[in-house]
Structure 1
Amino acid sequence: MLFVKSFSVIFVFIILFSISFQGCSSIAAKHDSQSLPVIESSPLHAQEKAHAYFCAGYFSLLDRDWENAAANFEKAIQLDRSSGRIMQHLATCYFQLGKNEKSIDYLEKLAKIKPNEFSVHYTLATLYETVGKYREAIEEYEYARQCKTTKLDHVFLADTLYRLANLYMQEGMMEKGIECYKSMFDMKLVSEPAKIYYEIGQKYFEKNDTKKALEYFLKVKEADPKLSFASFYLTLCYDALHDYDNAIKEAKVFLEKEPDNWVMRLALSEIYEKTNNESQQSEEIKKIEEILKKNIDAGSKNSKEYFLLCQIYRNQRKIDKAIAVVENMKLIPLDKETIRDIHFLLANLYYEDKRFDRVEEELQMALKLDPDFHEANNFLGYLFVENNRNLDEAIQLINKALKAQPRNGAYLDSLGWAYYKKAQVEGRHDYLIKALQKLLEAVQFLEEPDIYDHIGDVHYSLGNWDEAVNAWRKAQDLYKKMFNQEVQIENITTKLEKLKRLISVEETGSKVIKKRIEVKSGIQP
């Protein structure tokens, strides 16, 4: 939210170059397409030729014929290299032609000729900012603010200080940015201090300096208590600082004015979750659900609303409703990336609903839109592995995902598990070794019970029973710390009991064999 209108670069050029020119009146009466060739053939002195080219360029400029204007001004500048007004118009023409670097080049020359001209430094700074040369923009804005200005320049001076403050903050120089804002206060260039404080608070918030952000959002509230957005950010600041009582208080203040703001209600529900207030959390989730349903039924075009309502249903295990919401989202205008994400989300929902044919279909559609979508490549690869099919293709897909994220523990687990399944199908010991290597690498990046479970299975197949027991026990301990993992815990327990019996049988067999050997050898116990 701006406290002062930021002027476009085009408007800056209009202000800078709206100059009345002397000496063009004699040509004005004769201005037509036939007049330009006369310039080449007339035996004029350099200054007169320069003036003639200038006037020809000026008339083209009035007609917005930027190409011809620039061509004539270029001829003029070759004859009069120190002319500031020619440089001004060349900068304008090249800007209009989208040739910002050439425009900048002439403005830089002009700045050397007119070092104390506010409008020149201001315009050059705005162009630097447009092309992303932020350090150079800062330098020119600083030059501009030091120049002598008139009352007519004050609105541009305010814009200079505003832009400079934002650039300093963008570059991480927060204190210099604050100093620019303070200068605006001192020079009485600001009529609404609350919005300035808001700008500062927002910059600190973006830089994760929450305490400073809180300080300025409190100033916003003090300067203008009616501004509800102050309470919005105060809620977020108090939440980040673990001051949940004040966070809840500010959230309620905000929601009194905007009761249907689901973003604030979502933040409030998360605060209630952190404070273990399950009843209030559930109440907020219910209100969010009602708001989102109402918005979507009214034809909302906001994809975030669909995604959030889908997530609410998913958390409630209402998978059919979640799928219906996502299918409904396909009816609104969406960009390619969002459509891709929809297919991926549907794949996850169908997977949870055990509709595996639809999972593959949705993943294939996601990958058709984005073949390098690493999450989908890994998911499809793992789906093939789980079903013992297309194992070579599965390995290719997972390796493609790993190319994007080589240190992703989940992807390494998928690859290790793929090699394990391939070893089972082909009876190859070397694939078991490869599987174990990948799984041990995976667990270095991600300590998940599924990975330890897989490691245990591979060790078991290799005959490393002690290592298998250790891995399965680790998996069992991790599953016990998670919610709703009873099936996995039971599976691990079954594996451990089976292995325990095998070890017992092996030990008994070993004792019997040993005793027989001793008897045959005549060794007395």
Structure 2
Amino acid sequence: MRCFFPNPGSVVLGIIAFLCIGLLGCHSITARQEAQPLAGNKNQPLDVQEKTYSYFCTGYFYMLEKNWEDAARYFEKALQLDNSSEKILRHLATCYFQLGKNEKAVNFIKKLAEMKPHEFNVHYTLATLYEIGGKYQDAIVEYENARRCKITKLDHVFLADTLYRLANLYMQEGMMEKGAECYKSMLDMKLVNEPAKIYYEIGRRYFEKNDIKNALEYFLLVKKADPNLNFANFYLTLCYDALNDYSHAINEGKAFLEKEPNNWIMHFALSDIYRKIHDESKRNEEIEKTQEILRKNVDAGSKNPKEYFLLSQIYRSQHRIGKAIAVIENMKLIPLDKETSRDVHFLLANLYYESQEFDRVEEELYMTVKLDPDFHEANNFLGYLFVENNKNLDEAIRLISKALKAQPKNGAYLDSLGWAYYKKAQKERKDNYLVMALEKLREAVQFAEEPDIYEHMGDVYYSLGYWDEAIKAFEEAKVLYKEIFNHGTKLKNITAKLEKIGRLISLEETILKVTVNHREVENSNQP
């Protein structure tokens, strides 16, 4: 999608343009009479005016050389002698802005605003400085002050920018209606020639705030104002999809693809819509198109990480794990930022786990936590991998505990820690670890009703000799496993454990009966 207006960073140009207005001072000593009006107080003694002018000219020449510090120093001296000079205040604001000292620049512009309360450029500049500093409420106030000022034709460009930035700030702060009103003002005042672009901006903002109905209204206006703008069809597809109006969503998606047939994003979006209406044939058709476009892009050396991730996801859903791995391995060859590189290694760890290449899993997880030591998903995964392989148990407990600090109510992480304590109890033959394991597993099941957790609880209960509780936990696991596709092996294991406990209970009852009978016989034989 294209952007139609400058981003907030371009505000710097506007500030500099304003601050440089009136930089016409001391080109030569012969210009003295022309520059003399820089003094705000004309009733000053002549020697004070001369001194003020001297400091001003020195500061000005330093400014021409972009020596902002020395320029500011001399302008400050001039201001001490004449604190009401607009020109000195402007120049000081310029210097401090160039030095990155925005707070000082703001202070001088505020003084100008007091002196020139009805001047558009002063309020516009103050607002943009506030915006740069993240003081959005103050920026809103000053942009509103600016739009109420009388403007010249020269100011129209800045007024359009003012209304645009004000609209963005209002919407950013959740005041959608006020933001929309600013955009509409741009249309009413004929500050823009293409209304479709304004409607697009309003629609996009509503869409970002998940206000889909209002977003739809404005994207329809975009389409009406300029039917050739293809991005209107794109967003209309998303809006209709979000509103469960799948028929209109499909029509808009097809209209978009007539102009951009190789747009994999839309093909993938349509595949999901067809999934929702249970049209598997068309869903598969769109998935195939998505896959083919992505494969060509990736083979051509695409630099877009999203294309690699999605293609890998498609292969994974098709149980073609080798293909999925190859795609992500190739992704390592393109430039990646640190966060994306971390995600690449973590995804590879998951894929290698599915293909049972456990050495590669550990290797990729080590790379993941090296790039991001606080990545809790990787810490838990690596810790659980150690537990499953019954090695590095202390390190496993440390890693899982670190993950739990990030998400203390994560049932999967609590299960991992409980299972780690169970393994440690087995290895060191210490029942206190079994008690700790049971405590964590009981906590885990409060946040996640997962069959693995109940199975782990059953194993701990069994080890503690609580067979009735173990049976209840295994039975619960069995019910949940039956709801999950392709868990036949798990069900067999659970059934075997239940049968084992049943035999033990039966044996215990038999031994108890024999003991009772033996005692009865002994008692009957006594005189």
* Residue in structure 2 matched with residue 33 of structure 1 by the alignment: none
* Residue in structure 2 matched with residue 105 of structure 1 by the alignment: 107
* Residue in structure 2 matched with residue 9 of structure 1 by the alignment: 12
Question: Counterpart amino acid of 1:217?
Answer: F
Residue 319 of structure 2 aligns to a residue whose secondary structure is: coil
CA contact (8 A) 2:250 2:270 kept: yes
Residue 18 of structure 1 aligns to a residue whose secondary structure is: coil
CA contact (8 A) 2:457 2:473 kept: yes
| Cα shift readout 1:458-495 (whole Å, capped 9, x = no counterpart) | 11111222222222222222222222222212222222
- How far apart are residue 279 of structure 1 and its match? 1.7
* Residue in structure 2 matched with residue 19 of structure 1 by the alignment: 22
Show the 5 A alignment for 1:178-197: 178-197=180-199
Show the 5 A alignment for 1:206-355: 206-355=208-357
1:522/1:201 CA distance change after superposition, 3 Å: farther
Counterparts of 1:17 and 1:181, CA distance in 2: 29
Question: Counterpart amino acid of 2:316?
Answer: R
CA contact (8 A) 2:55 2:74 kept: yes
Counterpart selection for 2:166 from 164, 167, 172: 164
CA contact (8 A) 1:16 1:119 kept: no
- How far apart are residue 516 of structure 1 and its match? 4.3
CA contact (8 A) 2:55 2:78 kept: yes
Counterparts of 2:274 and 2:410, CA distance in 1: 32
- How far apart are residue 3 of structure 1 and its match? 4.3
Counterparts of 2:211 and 2:258, CA distance in 1: 28
* Residue in structure 1 matched with residue 38 of structure 2 by the alignment: none
Counterparts of 1:132 and 1:22, CA distance in 2: 33
* Residue in structure 2 matched with residue 36 of structure 1 by the alignment: none
Matched, 1:204 2:200: no
1:521/1:192 CA distance change after superposition, 3 Å: farther
Counterparts of 1:447 and 1:65, CA distance in 2: 67
Counterpart selection for 1:61 from 52, 63, 77: 63
Question: Counterpart amino acid of 1:26?
Answer: I
| Cα shift readout 1:335-372 (whole Å, capped 9, x = no counterpart) | 22222222222211111111111111221222222222
- How far apart are residue 517 of structure 1 and its match? 4.2
Show the 5 A alignment for 1:405-444: 405-444=407-446
Question: Counterpart amino acid of 1:451?
Answer: I
1:508/1:272 CA distance change after superposition, 3 Å: farther
TM-score normalized with structure 1 length: 0.92
Counterparts of 2:6 and 2:100, CA distance in 1: 24
- How far apart are residue 415 of structure 1 and its match? 0.6
* Residue in structure 1 matched with residue 495 of structure 2 by the alignment: 493
Counterparts of 1:247 and 1:501, CA distance in 2: 60
* Residue in structure 1 matched with residue 474 of structure 2 by the alignment: 472
Tell me whether 109-118 or 210-219 shows the greater mean CA deviation: 210-219
Residue 45 of structure 1 aligns to a residue whose secondary structure is: helix
- How far apart are residue 254 of structure 1 and its match? 1.2
- How far apart are residue 23 of structure 1 and its match? 6.7
- How far apart are residue 28 of structure 1 and its match? 6.5
* Residue in structure 1 matched with residue 42 of structure 2 by the alignment: none
Counterparts of 1:369 and 1:507, CA distance in 2: 57
The answer for unaligned runs of 5 or more in structure 1 is: 30-42
* Residue in structure 2 matched with residue 360 of structure 1 by the alignment: 362
CA contact (8 A) 1:27 1:55 kept: no
Matched, 1:377 2:375: no
Residue 165 of structure 1 aligns to a residue whose secondary structure is: helix
1:393/1:269 CA distance change after superposition, 3 Å: same
Counterparts of 1:352 and 1:146, CA distance in 2: 64
CA contact (8 A) 2:19 2:91 kept: no
Counterparts of 1:372 and 1:388, CA distance in 2: 24
Question: Counterpart amino acid of 2:285?
Answer: E
Counterparts of 1:443 and 1:392, CA distance in 2: 23
CA contact (8 A) 1:129 1:137 kept: yes
Residue 259 of structure 1 aligns to a residue whose secondary structure is: coil
- How far apart are residue 78 of structure 1 and its match? 0.7
Residue 19 of structure 1 aligns to a residue whose secondary structure is: coil
Counterparts of 2:17 and 2:63, CA distance in 1: 12
Counterpart selection for 1:84 from 62, 83, 86: 86
Tell me whether 429-438 or 206-215 shows the greater mean CA deviation: 206-215
- Root-mean-square deviation over aligned CA pairs: 2.0
* Residue in structure 1 matched with residue 76 of structure 2 by the alignment: 74
CA contact (8 A) 1:432 1:462 kept: yes
Counterparts of 1:135 and 1:216, CA distance in 2: 26
Counterparts of 1:382 and 1:269, CA distance in 2: 35
Tell me whether 339-348 or 166-175 shows the greater mean CA deviation: 339-348
Residue 226 of structure 1 aligns to a residue whose secondary structure is: coil
CA contact (8 A) 2:257 2:266 kept: yes
- How far apart are residue 2 of structure 1 and its match? 4.7
- How far apart are residue 414 of structure 1 and its match? 0.7
- How far apart are residue 521 of structure 1 and its match? 4.9
- How far apart are residue 236 of structure 1 and its match? 1.4
Counterparts of 1:508 and 1:273, CA distance in 2: 58
Residue 401 of structure 1 aligns to a residue whose secondary structure is: helix
CA contact (8 A) 2:19 2:93 kept: no
Counterparts of 1:521 and 1:213, CA distance in 2: 90
1:47/1:521 CA distance change after superposition, 3 Å: farther
| Cα shift readout 1:379-427 (whole Å, capped 9, x = no counterpart) | 1111111111111121111112222222221111111000001111111
* Residue in structure 2 matched with residue 37 of structure 1 by the alignment: none
* Residue in structure 2 matched with residue 447 of structure 1 by the alignment: 449
CA contact (8 A) 1:2 1:195 kept: no
* Residue in structure 1 matched with residue 37 of structure 2 by the alignment: none
Tell me whether 340-349 or 154-163 shows the greater mean CA deviation: 340-349
